[in-house]
């Protein structure tokens, strides 16, 4: 959606260079779109405000800004007529063949298994940690590198078998570290591991480069007995490199695909974490978010995603974008598994001072979020329902939301409807300004600390590298955001301080804090975003039409999403977001909703959405 009230939103896209070497996955997607989907309508391309569409930031700015000065957007037009009978039959045949093939893939017995299920198999001797590693590795080979070619996993851990052997020996000796003991987890490739794996943020500029030590979160996972199985593909540099980007594309990994419809975007920037967890290529995954990068791919891949309060989970050892908004969080198939992951990765870290800052709302050290899994949490809960900018935008999503609201009310929740969150247009501009300043400052600091095996040690060097390797790095989209960020001065600049103050004043004081206090809310509830959009390497992301991530992202407040159903076979998430450090409450609400609805469905690797 283009925001006509913002002249910059209508800026023309820069011409995109072409290259015959654009990766084969992207070509296959393009062929699928131009063939079977030739007569399907595609959304118009967005301009500047799409930069984080489906996974990092500001696409919501357009939707929210629309509430302030012009009429609420009309519903999306009806889809184009379905393909002719022959084309429809061909699609159906392909879909059935792909679904049948997926059922015969290796490790099918692991599909949809929870941490508890996997622990039961290991306890019974049906599996060991080492056999789980082998089976997930076989699934990655069959589904990620062959078959549907999801391209969700960039790299596998060569030490996984050795680690699994150690954990199996501990189990045999009667020593269990907890619910993650022997559980294979994938992590996003912007999270440092001090081992044989590389950390690259998906960029060829860091290809072959190793981090000196584990990120705080990785160390916590290892201590809890989790096996870091490998690293996932992502929108390169967390989708803040250039305009007209394609979520889930990186120079290292190519285009990641949505396992529910292979011609659709997995969203981003935690694209691979979303696709891999959804396809049971791991037990669960870790993603990161600046604005939408956990919750959007979780929604588009039918997962539970938790974007924690900034300050609950350390960012030390993570390729940075914004100190104001960056955080890490779980992406899992159930609320219980997500809660167990959050329990492990949350904690104070002196290397990230925001995690040690005094806050009376902060839970006590070692808080167990599984204690918040209350099936009756919705009874008596006061939930605010924002309407403007959240409804009447995406066809199919409104029906799902009406059902969700009825389910919430049926479970005893009190709906304050509407409880509007009318964000002004200048909020998106202020957020963009903050991100530009912070990217330059914090990425320079991070890259300066990388070893001599890194090709670049500053933002300026990364820009130069991309120009030198334009055929491989800039063939699909550019690096306008990098170049604009490079021009920004330090964090003492008045423009930065003013922009950050405006973000806090609007998102926290004028909106979330005020509306929650006025209505005595426990949380807000809304659709996380629209359905996954078609992958388009020519025009970039079209977006899902709406996005709920921006206000909690700018505020640094928690946000939980979980499946609310499907439209044409494409998952849609339901969001709960609220006050800082209210993760326990939000997890309880999400768990109660999950228990009464059970909307999670595994993907079938269909060639396209269900158009019939």
Q: What are phi and psi of 365, to 5 degrees?
A: -55, 140
Residues 425-463: b if buried by 16+ CB within 10 A, e if exposed: bbbbbbbbbbbbbbbbbbbbebbeebeeebbbbbbeebb
**pLDDT band with cut points at 50, 70 and 90 for residue 110:** very high
DSSP three-state, residue 99:
helix
Interval 134-169: pLDDT, tens: 999 999 999 999 999 999 999 999 999 999 999 999
Alpha helices in 50-84 (DSSP H): 59-69
The better pLDDT of the pair 382, 35 is held by 382
Interval 200-225: pLDDT, tens: 999 999 999 999 999 999 999 999 99
For residue 259, give every residue at least 6 positions away whose Cβ sits within 8 Å of its Cβ, in sequence order, or none. Answer: 143, 148, 150, 266, 275, 278, 279, 301, 603, 605
DSSP three-state, residue 311:
coil
Interval 263-298: pLDDT, tens: 999 999 999 999 999 999 999 999 999 999 999 999
- By the 10 Å C-beta count (0-12 exposed, 13-18 middle, 19+ buried), 21 is classed as exposed
The better pLDDT of the pair 87, 296 is held by 296
* Superfamily for the 7-11+18-597 domain: Amidase signature (AS) domain (3.90.1300.10)
Residue 272: CB atoms within 10 Å: 35
d(Cα 558, Cα 29) in Å, to the nearest integer?
34
Active site residue 188: yes
Q: Which of 188, 388, 488, 502 is catalytic?
A: 188
d(Cα 328, Cα 554) in Å, to the nearest integer?
15
Active site residue 293: yes
Q: Which of 293, 549, 575, 582 is catalytic?
A: 293
| Averaged pLDDT of the chain | 88
Active site residue 280: no
Q: Which of 269, 324, 555, 582 is catalytic?
A: 269
d(Cα 275, Cα 504) in Å, to the nearest integer?
33
Averaged pLDDT for residues 568-589: 98
Least confident segment among 33-37, 192-196, 585-589, 591-595: 33-37
Query: Per residue, what are the HEC states of 182-242?
Result: CCEEEEECCECCCCCCCCCCCCHHHCCCCCCCCCHHHHHHHHCCCEEEEEECCCHHHHCCC
**pLDDT band with cut points at 50, 70 and 90 for residue 544:** confident
Residue 362: CB atoms within 10 Å: 18
pLDDT of residue 41: 35
**Long-range Cβ contact pairs of 169-174 (< 8 A, separation 24 or more):** 170/225, 171/122, 171/128, 171/129
The better pLDDT of the pair 522, 14 is held by 522
For residue 364, give every residue at least 6 positions away whose Cβ sits within 8 Å of its Cβ, in sequence order, or none. Answer: none
**pLDDT band with cut points at 50, 70 and 90 for residue 130:** very high
Secondary structure letter of residue 558 according to DSSP: -
Contact 331, 276 (CB under 8 A): no
Interval 321-367: pLDDT, tens: 999 999 999 999 999 999 999 999 999 999 999 999 999 999 999 99
Query: Is the pLDDT at 20 greater than 50, yes or no?
Result: no
Least confident segment among 23-27, 416-420, 482-486: 23-27
Using N-to-C axis directions, what is the helix angle for 459-468 and 426-448, rounded to 10°?
A: 90
Percent of the chain with pLDDT over 70: 83
């Amino acid at each position: 959606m283009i925001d006509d009230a913002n002249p910059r939103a209508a800026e023309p896209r820069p011409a995109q260079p072409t290259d015959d070497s654009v990766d084969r996955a992207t070509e296959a997607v393009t062929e699928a779109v131009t063939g079977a989907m030739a007569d399907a309508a595609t959304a118009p391309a967005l301009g500047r405000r799409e930069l984080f569409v489906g996974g990092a930031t500001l696409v919501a700015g357009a939707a929210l800004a629309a509430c302030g000065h012009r009429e609420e957007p009309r519903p999306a037009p009806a889809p184009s007529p379905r393909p002719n009978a022959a084309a429809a039959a061909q699609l159906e045949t392909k879909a059935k063949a792909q679904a049948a093939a997926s059922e015969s893939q290796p490790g099918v017995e692991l599909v949809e298994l929870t941490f508890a299920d996997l622990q039961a198999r290991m306890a019974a001797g049906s599996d060991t940690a080492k056999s789980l590693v082998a089976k997930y590795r076989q699934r990655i080979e069959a589904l990620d590198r062959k078959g549907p070619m999801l391209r969700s996993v960039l790299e596998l851990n060569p030490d996984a078998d050795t680690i699994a052997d150690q954990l199996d020996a501990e189990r045999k000796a009667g020593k269990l570290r907890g619910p993650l003991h022997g559980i294979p987890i994938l992590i996003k490739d912007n999270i440092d591991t001090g081992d044989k794996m590389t950390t690259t943020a998906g960029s060829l500029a860091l290809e072959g480069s190793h981090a000196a030590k584990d990120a705080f979160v990785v160390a916590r996972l290892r201590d809890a007995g989790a096996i870091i199985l490998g690293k996932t593909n992502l929108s390169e540099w967390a989708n803040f490199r250039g305009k007209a980007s394609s979520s889930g594309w990186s120079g290292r990994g190519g285009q990641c695909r949505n396992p529910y419809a292979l011609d659709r975007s997995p969203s981003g920037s935690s694209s691979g974490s979303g696709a891999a967890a959804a396809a049971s290529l791991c037990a669960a995954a870790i993603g990161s978010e600046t604005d939408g990068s956990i919750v959007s791919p979780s929604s588009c891949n039918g997962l539970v995603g938790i974007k924690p309060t900034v300050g609950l989970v350390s960012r030390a050892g993570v390729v940075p974008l914004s100190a104001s908004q960056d955080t890490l969080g779980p992406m899992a198939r159930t609320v219980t598994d997500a809660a167990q992951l959050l329990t492990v990765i949350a904690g104070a870290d002196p290397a990230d001072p925001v995690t040690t800052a005094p806050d009376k709302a902060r839970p006590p050290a070692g808080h167990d979020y599984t204690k918040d899994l209350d099936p009756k949490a919705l009874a008596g809960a006061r939930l605010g329902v924002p309407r403007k900018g959240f409804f009447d935008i995406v066809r199919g999503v409104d029906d799902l939301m009406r059902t969700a609201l009825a389910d919430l009310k049926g479970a005893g929740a009190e709906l304050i409807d509407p409880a509007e969150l009318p964000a002004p247009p200048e909020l998106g501009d202020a957020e963009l300004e903050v991100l530009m300043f912070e990217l330059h400052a914090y990425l320079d600091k991070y890259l300066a600390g990388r070893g001599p095996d890194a090709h670049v040690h500053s933002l300026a060097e990364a820009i130069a590298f991309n120009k030198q390797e334009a055929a491989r790095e800039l063939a699909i989209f550019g690096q306008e955001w990098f170049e604009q960020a490079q021009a920004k001065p330090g964090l003492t600049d008045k423009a930065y301080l003013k922009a950050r103050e405006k973000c806090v004043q609007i998102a926290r004081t004028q909106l979330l804090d005020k509306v929650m206090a006025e209505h005595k809310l426990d949380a807000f509830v809304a659709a996380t975003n629209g359905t996954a959009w078609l992958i388009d390497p020519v025009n970039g992301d079209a977006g899902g039409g709406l996005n709920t991530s921006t206000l909690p992202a700018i505020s640094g407040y928690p946000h939980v999403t979980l499946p609310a159903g499907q439209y044409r076979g494409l998952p849609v998430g339901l969001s709960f977001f609220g006050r800082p450090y209210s993760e326990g409450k939000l997890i309880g609400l999400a768990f109660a909703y999950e228990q009464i609805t059970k909307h999670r469905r595994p993907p079938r690797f269909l060639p396209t959405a269900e158009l019939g």
